[in-house]
A and B are shown apart, each in its own frame.
Chain A
Amino acid sequence: MEARKIEENIFRFLMILSTIIISSTLFMIVYTLFSKGVGSLSWDMVSKIPEGGFYIGKGGGILNAIVGSIYITLGSTFLGLIISLPIVIYINVYAKKNATLATLTRLSSDILFGIPSIVYGAFGFTIMVYMGLKTSLLAGIITVTLMIIPILVRAIDEVVRVVPDDMSNAVFALGGTRYESAKIILRQSIPGIVTAILLSFGRAIGDAACVLFTAGFTDSIPTSLDQPAATLPLSIFFQLSSPIQEVQNRAYAAAVILTIIVLIINIVAKVASKNLSKNKI
């Protein structure tokens, strides 16, 4: 055989090998988490808040963390959407001719996307101190919102960009304003927007470093915005650092819960984007 054929085959083998390695890591991780955590999973875990001595192995569950995570995630996704939708509309409808501003916005959200969540956490802390807040649900929501705005902007921008120009031209031809054309464009991009929301939801629910400084941690379920809130990732982290086996096992069970939530969100996002786009023109 020719030398170059041999080289080709060697590299083809290496490529397939590395593809298998990388695509099997997901299964490896999910398998490990499930096999370790399912045993300690119980109904108490998801339906009760921690009782006294929870962190030394006594009874209770992590309902506080689940609810706290959902509060923070819902709040910040909602806030983030309110802020990022106008931005996307502006750079795609209003500033269409001013390409510099649009490029600058896209560039800055790409850069912000790369900023690690711990930096957002630290920045959120400085805002919190500046505004005179204490660690609370509200401070956590603000920080997470800052973190997910670039994700939302980039993901929604991606779908709004591919809506054909004819669509808005038709609106203009009928005497519509830019705002009215924006409404038509948004209706066309609903599937993409739903996917973007789910993606940022998944990111927000899984991030621990970001809320470390700002949301605090508590064993009770927050009832107002100025109370501290626990989150699921932090709860896993704290339980895992305990030396007691029983508490560690519960951390693995909590990890299973988080894995299930995140996988469901991600898969729903994939299916939704596929199914919703059927009705698109």
Chain B
Amino acid sequence: MPTSVNTIRLKSLKKKSTLKQILKIMRRFQKFCGVVYSDLTRNKRLLKDQFINKTFLALTLLSISIVVLIAIGLFYKSIPLLNSASLSDLLFSSEWKPFKEAFGFYSFIVGTLWVTAISIIIALPLSILTAIYLSEYAHANVRKLVLPLIELLSGIPPVLYGVWGVLVIVPLIQDRIASHFVEFSTGYSVLAGGIVLAIMIFPLIISIIIEVFDNVPQELRNASLSLGATQWQTTKKVVLRKSFDGIIAAVVLAISRAFGETIAVLMVCGNLAQIPQSIFDSGYPLPALIANNYGEMMSIPMYDSALMFAALLLFVIIFLFNTISRVILYRIEKRNT
């Protein structure tokens, strides 16, 4: 009876394999606990090492999961709003009447985009030129002198930029600039927000671009120069081209920084929930909306949910931008080591 023999064999094989698996799992378990157990009797130092290994691993995993926790926390809070209106209504309607439970974020999104765009348009050319000068042209001493100044700029708190904007930029726009273009402007405008933001993101763009330039091999520059190219031609055709993706990454990072900046922009950009018609109009960026209304948010139904949704929106956009540009920068660093 060949078939029955076969089945018996198969069964015993199966049994054996399951037995083996159980033994394997048991051995693993023993290994896991055993190390700790035997070290307890043998070596206190090893035990300490093992214990620290596990605790520190837990902390590291926790730190990685903060990103996920933020997303979950904000999403959880914005569920009520998402249930009451469709996503496209929330994003593309500009009707903002919290008392009637109408939450359209369109004008805030547009306000954020205006301010961010203006700041990048101002900051990018200036930063690239400065970065080129410091990394390709300037004497080492000049670089040593200027870079710390730029780093200090990044240490100044946003609120001080805001005060400075109110004192200098807003009157400047109101009295000198706006009168040439429009009939009237209070100065509290998306332009003011853009200028203040541009100064805030200088250090970020410059430090990243200089790092990217430093990663361009010196041999490439030498080869170009030995062919008779001028230094500017070398910079333009070799250095800039070679670091193109790095510059893009820097810009995307700067955009995400500009997107989320709160207090400084809030202080100078007027905070009117409207779609700006010109750069001299007031705007109301998303972060300013969140910061301005934290006081009332518990008293109006759904309001807290709406503000948390705004925070979630910021988080998602900035998370995507950040991840993309960081991955690009990591690749550049890896390529050159």
Contacts and interface: CB of A to CB of B under 8 A. Distances in A.
Contacts of B56: 86-87, 89-90, 94
* Interface majority SS (helix, strand, loop, mixed), chain A: helix
Contact of B162 (A4, A179, A237): A237
Contacts of A212: 291, 294
> Which of A18, A233, A240 has the largest number of chain B CB atoms within 10 A?
A18
Interface stretch (A44-52, A55-63, A203-211): A203-211
A158 to B, nearest CB: 12
Interface in A131-153: 146, 149, 153
Contact of B60 (A16, A95, A202, A251): A95
Contacts of B152: 26, 263, 266-267
> Which of B45, B146, B263, B291 has the largest number of chain A CB atoms within 10 A?
B263
B77 A208 contact: no
B127 interface: yes
Contacts of A126: 73-74, 76-77, 308
Contact of B311 (A119, A130, A180): A119
B54 to A, nearest CB: 10
Interface stretch (A99-107, A186-194, A221-229): A99-107
Contacts of A83: 59, 63
B259 A18 contact: no
Contacts of A94: 52-53, 56-57
Interface string B134-152: 1001100000001011111
B157 A122 contact: no
A212 B132 CA distance: 39
A87 B260 contact: no
A209 B262 CA distance: 7
Nearest to B153: A26
A71 interface: no
A127 B148 CA distance: 37
A207 B158 contact: yes
B318 A206 contact: no
A223 B158 CA distance: 28
B70 A179 contact: no
Contacts of B223: none
> Which of B164, B253, B319, B321 has the largest number of chain A CB atoms within 10 A?
B164
A112 interface: yes
B74 A108 contact: no
A169 interface: no
B316 to A, nearest CB: 10
A255 B160 contact: yes
B46 interface: yes
B168 interface: yes
A32 interface: yes
B294 A18 contact: no
Contacts of B49: 177-179
B146 A118 contact: no
B90 interface: no
B160 A206 contact: yes
B184 interface: no
Given A104-B64, A118-B262, A177-B46, A208 B70 contact: no
A252 B315 contact: no
B181 interface: no
A5 B230 contact: yes
Contact of B127 (A22, A120, A236): A22
Interface string A1-23: 00011011001101111110111
A258 B45 CA distance: 47
B31 interface: no
Given A11-B232, A12-B137, A87-B60, A107 B150 contact: no
A262 B63 contact: no
Contact of A127 (B73, B150, B230): B73
B160 A29 contact: yes
A208 B157 contact: yes
B159 A116 contact: no
A34 to B, nearest CB: 11
Nearest to B51: A179
19 contacts: A4-B233, A18-B133, A19-B129, A22-B127, A32-B164, A94-B56, A107-B323, A115-B318, A116-B259, A118-B311, A130-B73, A206-B156, A206-B158, A206-B159, A208-B157, A209-B287, A212-B294, A233-B158, A255-B160
Interface of B: 45-46, 48-49, 52-53, 55-57, 59-60, 63-64, 66-67, 69-70, 73-74, 76-77, 125-127, 129-130, 132-134, 137-138, 146, 148-153, 155-164, 166-168, 199, 202, 206, 230-233, 253, 256-257, 259-263, 267, 287, 290-291, 294, 307-308, 311, 314-315, 318-319, 321-323, 326-327, 330
Given A19-B133, A94-B52, A110-B322, 10 more contacts: A15-B130, A15-B133, A33-B167, A111-B322, A112-B67, A114-B322, A121-B291, A207-B158, A233-B159, A237-B263
